[in-house]
Structure 1
């Protein structure tokens, strides 16, 4: 794919990775992704913002064939999907200077062995003139690494945001055209990557508020010609109260836990509570992460194995603890054979979640009428707590 014009003297470069289905050997990519870099030609100087993942280097370097000179390479984020081709660009343009935060400089030297003489470290709020275009660098730490920053093109009011406001989505469209599809991809991206830093992202959103941002050009996914669309979404995801939603990740070995989960789901729905149910043996973990963004309550369904939770249930607890959703309540349901410490084990795996634990429902063997009654009581307790807190 060739470089594509965004506005006069501003170009998208990079690669659309249609076939990638896993990121960092961890994050599912059902819609592929893209690696976005941006070329800005001022009346006096030319700047390149970010590069691409190393496997896409050939395509990217081909896009630079007609570019006679680059004065500055701006590294927004040291992770290799954005920085991995910097050395190849520096070899082509040996007089270019590499602009980064001081923390990014240290990381880039460690990750890519970039020589000291290429670096120019900048301060938060510093500007760089390209002649008729001015770049302003705004530090946004922990979005999602400690060294991250964004770049605001003052004259055109474009925010080049790297991972901030990104979405893993492959498309031939340069700009967002299908807001529904992009909203879901951006929410998945937020849930999997940004949610652990929700409180810090809120502060960085406040830091960006004074700027008249008209367009957002992220490091992954399509460009937002209407910045308000994604800014409003992030405001909701970082500041909004939980919804009247229960997320139930579960696994069942001999049907007992499944029967309990299905009964609980019905009881919750009868009481006006929205439910998201996930069979951990087959679920898309990204979908589970997305559901956790809004969930007021998590109920883990698990059989007991060797006195503890099923490994899939333990993984769900580990995931929730790592992602740190704004969840307020937690409970456990499941079946056991002779005993164990399933609840204690799961509770010990979620120290990052500031939740109230609602009395679990565990049964020995197949659930009986009394167990189903207890599940009805659990549904009632959850519904009351949601109502008391006005979760909608």
Structure 2
């Protein structure tokens, strides 16, 4: 990433990872990502806010050289995860006079994850400020806005919020700003679904704090910046609210066609009753898209056959991921087919019990679905319609 000015004395100096396709060996990143770092230079002191993933340390050092920085006074670490802090050990060697700024929990993690010398770290508390000379950094400790030690940094004079992972997106782009928000929105929603959604209550509390600031720019740690902050703030207000849509998400897998037949019939039954439906074949689906749909869905219905004595592994994987992502879904159920026995329904019920959602009686049949089985699916569709009437706002 080229060095670019955000405001006088404030520059973006991070790196773009154009080719990344799997983040943390877990999260799909079909559009790559960026590791954003920022320099804030006051009349007296200079601070670097966050670093980059270690494999891009050379890019960061080159950008600091392009700015002509012979020294750094402070290195602010908003988050200890290595894609934010991984270059810190090298920077402490390069800038021996620099002091690391972190909150107490972040300090503890930096000591363990990166073996940073404790004497190089200065702990800051929520609301504490650091005067750089005409540039004031105010620290906002926001635990569980992704990790227990996360912090945001607000530069008062220019109204710039360095928001850490909040409001980020895994998106490699040459554009510094997300001016075309409708183009950026899917990546931002995917990021929210996969990373922020498990901590929806904490994110909502942080959103209230952020909304009270005089904001000119939101500068996250991944993806483009927002110089029209209301766009991403409004999107987060929607995603973190309790409101759901008249939408049923159906993650499914079928081995010999029985479960697929049930999904096809059930999908049509819901559509005929005026319910939006989004089925995903788990053998080929992008789980990031499944998570994005879960942000809005009033109901999730898992459809899976029994493999030996339990659910198909693809359904186990997806149900586990959704259970830890904790969408605001109100209802869940299970449909599918078995041959001679097993505990598929019990297993999926136990996994989905981690969601704060009502379990609707499953429809699980032996063999290929016949007339009575299809009638039971129609009954399930009727039940979902009635349940949605109580939770989905009327248009």
Q: Deviations over 1:208-235 (max 9, x none)?
A: 2321112100000000011111111111
Aligned to 1:218: 220
What is the deviation of 1:391?
A: 4.2
Question: How far off is 1:283 after superposition?
Answer: 0.6
* Distance in 2 separating the partners of 1:254 and 1:352: 30
**Correspondence 1:112 to 2:111:** no
For each residue in 1:133-167, what CA deviation from the matched residue of structure 2 results, as whole angstroms up to 9, or x when unmatched? Answer: 11100001111111110011101011001101100
> Aligned-pair distance for 1:273?
0.6
- Partners of 2:106 and 2:222 lie apart in 1 by 19
Range that drifts further, 348-357 or 110-119: 348-357
Match of 2:165 in 1: 163
Alpha-carbon separation, structure 1, partners of 2:227 and 2:104 = 31
- Inter-partner Cα distance in structure 2 for 1:359 and 1:375: 11
| Counterpart secondary structure, 1:162 | coil
- Separation in structure 1 between the aligned mates of residue 127 and residue 390 of structure 2, nearest angstrom: 44
Aligned twin of 1:321: 323
- Larger CA deviation: 293-302 vs 337-346: 337-346
Tell me the equivalent position of 2:50: 50
Kindly report the root-mean-square deviation, in angstroms, between the aligned alpha carbons of the 2 structures. Answer: 1.1
Gap change, CA 1:391 and 1:264, over 3 Å in 2: farther
Please name the residue that 1:182 is paired with: 184
Q: For residues 316-355 of structure 1, what are the structure 2 equivalents within 5 Å?
A: 316-355=318-357
Aligned to 1:64: 64
CA distance in 1, matches of 2:391, 2:224: 37
Deviation at 1:238, TM superposition (A): 0.8
Confirm or deny that 1:373 pairs with 2:375. yes
Partner in structure 1 of residue 81 of structure 2:
79
CA distance in 2, matches of 1:222, 1:275: 32
Distance in 1 between the 2:111 and 2:151 partners? 17
Q: Distance in 1 between matches of 2:381 and 2:159?
A: 50
- The aligned residue for residue 138 of structure 2 is 136
Of 94, 102, 111 in structure 1, the residue corresponding to residue 96 of structure 2 is: 94
**Secondary structure in structure 2 of the residue aligned to 1:142:** coil
Aligned to 1:284: 286
2:27 matched residue in structure 1: 27
Q: State the secondary structure of the residue aligned to 2:383.
A: helix
Deviations, residues 349-384 of structure 1 (Å, cap 9, x unaligned): 123212211121122111112211111111111011
* Paired residue secondary structure (1:181): helix
Q: Does the CA contact (< 8 Å) of 2:41 and 2:47 recur in 1?
A: yes
State the alpha-carbon separation in 1 of the partners of residues 371 and 84 from structure 2: 57
Determine the C-alpha separation between the residues in 2 that align with 1:102 and 1:291.
Answer: 36
- Report SS of the residue matched to 1:344: helix
Q: What is the Cα deviation at residue 305 of structure 1?
A: 1.4
Structure 1 residue ranges, 4+ long, deviating more than 6 angstroms after superposition: none
2: distance between equivalents of 1:160 and 1:266? Answer: 46
Which residue, 233, 237, 240 being the options, matches 1:238? 240
Unaligned stretches of 5+ residues in structure 2: none
Cα distance between partner residues in 1 of 2:175 and 2:239: 25
TM-score (norm 1): 0.98
Q: Are 2:335 and 2:362, in contact at CA under 8 Å, matched by a contact in 1?
A: yes
Question: How many Å separate the matches in 1 of 2:392 and 2:136?
Answer: 47
